[in-house]
Structure 1
């Protein structure tokens, strides 16, 4: 019998996809930037079935590639081109297992869509703060496996800071039940944190116990015109000094990024009558009207104008206006797809070095490919920018952009490394950044990572080729 026969016998024919039309959705990423060829796709509906599928693949020596919502940007959920790897989709595992409002925890299957996790929290007047542009499609298992970031990191931290416990199927099919809703647990190595950010290379996350927070239905939101990135960094301090912990988001948007949204996103409009080089979306949030969000925002903007850090501002006066401002930020990634090829770069440096990084890379990139467009946006408060590249609108060539991709990436990554930054702030390494990261990482750190991989997956069958390059 083949591994497909074994999987079909154990899980039923409906759980195993083999037809080309069915496999197509698992053969490329959502941008069409990467591709692979699955041997088959397994769609278990419960942890026990995931364990069975992984055990059967382990016994047959067949590699397993976990697949969540398919929204990744680094190729982490794609099989290789060999046609021998089994894709394991968690899309059918969408149970909300337990909601504990008293303990502020929520336990869900890994296949639950992020927006549904947020809704489950809202149903008990709580907040799950992880927020991404892809939240209507991405799944919590993938979010944790890649240690997702998003727009709320400034206040709540990365995905790994929002999880208390995990359930994980290991490489040999055993199940580790670490679904403990404890804030304090000093009983050895923190295995939960080991699997967060591992991109399925150490095991498959099948469920998670998540942290909830008090709901924050009140918002004060402003879209600001700024003269420079230096001004954006300086203004951050002004806002923090007046808003404190109520500062929930501080997003940077370049004019090029805004123009991309205005060209392609229905309903998007420029809040100002004239063009500016840079913009910021600032949002304060709280539980009640007594927290003084509007006065705090007004005080911060007044200080910004007086210090010539802000040149214009629009404050949302209603939920609809707030949504229209957020559309300008959250529509960027999708809008870029309509302009042709784009090279996605997700990097971070210490906040104070952001202006220097962006000025330096602009010159380096122009030297590599004259006229290359920089579609830059990101999260000023945590030093993370999405430094995406596209061909010039007039006379630019996608083929030339792709041909220069390696040199363009090196220009950005070298500049980031020189400033002690990360070439993958929140998207993960997958295959897209695997080699570039290894070339810029301390050999001792790489050896430690390889030791962990060898200990948990000695046969190298869990999402092989991702995160760590072959020796």
Structure 2
């Protein structure tokens, strides 16, 4: 039978092994997630300072069969960082393990501890005149260990890939407390099973990431940013193809935005300057990063002229200064905050093949609005097929009035995603929110293999129980 660490015996074993300083009072922020769909509980909160301390914590938990929940920045949106039932767990927060251990500019590699905030990793790369391209709305508070544990995406996946693609090696503590010293700086290493890629995206269910070897890139000599009005999602896809034909891999960002997102900003964040006097139905935020003598602004203007001649775009705003660029980005980056302030009935982080996106949006609208007078804010990373398809109550109503319909909305949206050969989790992970969805839509052979891997690496089932795979 699993012990409850709140009984004091387990906490005392930690104090005996590591001293009093490692344990901290449990604050409210450790018990909830940003959408407040889950309320967790914690028996003991530990803030280790080294991988050796993490190893000791996990070994003690394994010996006592106490569940362990790793904690990064707490920004995850699927409840992976909060344990809602069962024995109160040991929560291991990596926030005191935040060092940038080393930067190798000539190798384009940076080694960071798991508790490093994403913006600090970006800044360390910039100091070495390099780019760490992972970028997302929560970058000022999320931590790189959590980014890797959830295989975070963000706005630059089109050019640089997900978090998985930006990692060469890991240091991690396995469920028995052993330390895997896998901080490789090698780009070629064919020496057996890829433990790195098992841990990335596993959401703490196979071990605790404590440090990572990360890929850096040359900084583009110039960056150009623009907002284009587009006739439709189909026109946006054709515009993306045209942009890649004209500038190749220089396209780093291609974000689809719907008018509903701008209307929400007008409603709850009215001081945000919007790009157009009249809000268009659809628009895209485009960013080019080019080197050499090429001018991103000229490339954006050439793209606009060609696209306008083909009837793909209407008006456009091409940033002429860094201040204007930041204004355009503020619109995109504040859409999630606008959504939060409005309060969604059901939010969906989904992906479908890019060519199917227009039909998915059309049919999704028909299905959701067949349930009631809902507002839909569909936006996201068009370049990699990832949409945030969020459903909201009518203006003047709260999401709590529609709690009874939340599961129905989610089921119908995810059924449609599955019909189109898509994924019900594009970049946020499974956590505890989507375990039923994974069981429903996941390939049975893959799920069986996942359970076998979990049982092999974590036979006591102590690592983040209830996340990803249903208990």
TM range (shorter): over 0.9
- SS of the residue aligned with 1:176? strand
Q: In the alignment, is residue 381 of structure 1 matched against residue 388 of structure 2?
A: no
In the TM superposition, 1:355-374 aligns within 5 A as: 355-368=358-371, 370-374=372-376
CA shift for structure 1 position 434: 1.2
Contact 1:37–1:82 (CA under 8 A) maintained in structure 2: no
Compute the displacement of 1:265 (Å).
Answer: 3.4
Residue 277 of structure 2: SS of its match in structure 1?
coil
Q: CA deviation at 1:23?
A: 3.3
Map 1:190-339; keep pairs closer than 5 Å. 190-265=194-269, 267-288=271-292, 290-339=293-342
Q: 2:187 aligns with which of 179, 183, 186?
A: 183
Residues 259-268 or 384-393, more deviating: 259-268
Match of 2:435 in 1: 434
Give 2:105's match in structure 1, choosing from 92, 97, 101: 101
How far does residue 16 in structure 1 lie from its aligned partner after superposition? 1.1
* Matched ranges for 1:413-432 at <5 A: 413-432=414-433
Aligned to 1:331, the other structure's residue is in SS state helix
Are residue 16 (structure 1) and residue 23 (structure 2) matched?
yes
Deviation track 1:417-453 (CA, whole Å, cap 9, x = no partner) reads: 0011000000000010111121111111110111110
Counterpart secondary structure, 1:426: coil
Shift of 1:267: 4.2
Partner of residue 47, structure 1: 51
2:29 is the alignment partner of 1:25: yes
How does 1:166-181 map onto structure 2 within 5 Å? Answer: 166-181=170-185
Q: TM-score, normalised by structure 1?
A: 0.96
- Report the alpha carbon displacement of residue 287 of structure 1 after superposing the two structures with TM: 3.6
Provide, for residues 95-117 of structure 1, a one-character-per-residue CA deviation record: whole Å limited to 9, x for no partner. 11110011110001000000000
Asked if the contact 1:390–1:401 (Cα under 8 Å) also holds between the matched residues in 2, the reply is: no
Contact 2:170–2:183 (CA<8 Å) still a contact in 1?
A: yes
Deviations 1:204-251 (A, max 9, x none): 000000000001251111111112111111111111111111101000
Distance across 1 between alignment mates of 2:119 and 2:182:
24
Q: Which moved more, 1:108-117 or 1:226-235?
A: 226-235
Q: Over residues 129-150 of structure 1, what are the superposed CA-to-partner deviations in whole Å (9 max), with x where a residue is unaligned? A: 0000100000000000000000
C-alpha displacement of 1:10: 2.1
Inter-partner Cα distance in structure 1 for 2:330 and 2:400: 30
Deviates more, 1:40-49 or 1:270-279: 270-279
Unaligned runs of 5+ in 2: 1-7
Q: How many matched pairs?
A: 464
Task: Give the secondary structure class of the aligned counterpart of 2:172.
Answer: strand
Report the CA distance between 1:266 and its aligned residue: 6.2
Which 10-residue stretch deviates more, 168-177 or 260-269? 260-269
SS at match of 1:311: strand
Work out whether residues 15 and 43 of structure 1, in 8 Å CA contact, stay in contact via their aligned partners in 2: yes
Q: Which runs of 5+ in 1 are unaligned?
A: none
In 1: Cα distance, 2:110 partner to 2:183 partner: 10
Q: Return the offset for 1:30.
A: 2.2
**Equivalent-residue separation in structure 2 for 1:399 and 1:338 (angstroms):** 13
Structure 1 stretch 263-272 or stretch 299-308: which is displaced more? 263-272
| Aligned counterpart, 2:5 | none
- For residue 85 of structure 1, report the CA deviation from its aligned partner: 1.0
Q: For the residues of structure 1 that align with 2:327 and 2:270, how far apart are their CA atoms? A: 11
* 4+ aligned runs moved over 4 Å, structure 1: none
* Alpha-carbon separation, structure 2, partners of 1:198 and 1:276: 40
**Partner in structure 2 of residue 4 of structure 1:** 11
CA offset digits 1:282-312 (Å, max 9, x no partner) = 1101244x12322221221111111111011
* Displacement of 1:261: 2.2
- In structure 2, the partner of 1:73 is 77
Q: Note the alpha carbon deviations across 1:370-419, whole angstroms, 9 max, x for none.
A: 1111111101110000011211113x342232221111011110101001
* Corresponding residue number in structure 1 for 2:461: 460
Paired with 1:266 and 1:203, the residues of 2 have a C-alpha distance of 44
> Which shows bigger deviation, 319-328 or 331-340?
331-340
Query: Which of 115, 124, 133 is the aligned partner of 2:128?
Result: 124
User: Cα deviation per residue 1:120-177 (whole Å; 9 max; x = unaligned)?
Assistant: 0000000000000100000000000000000000000010000000001000100001
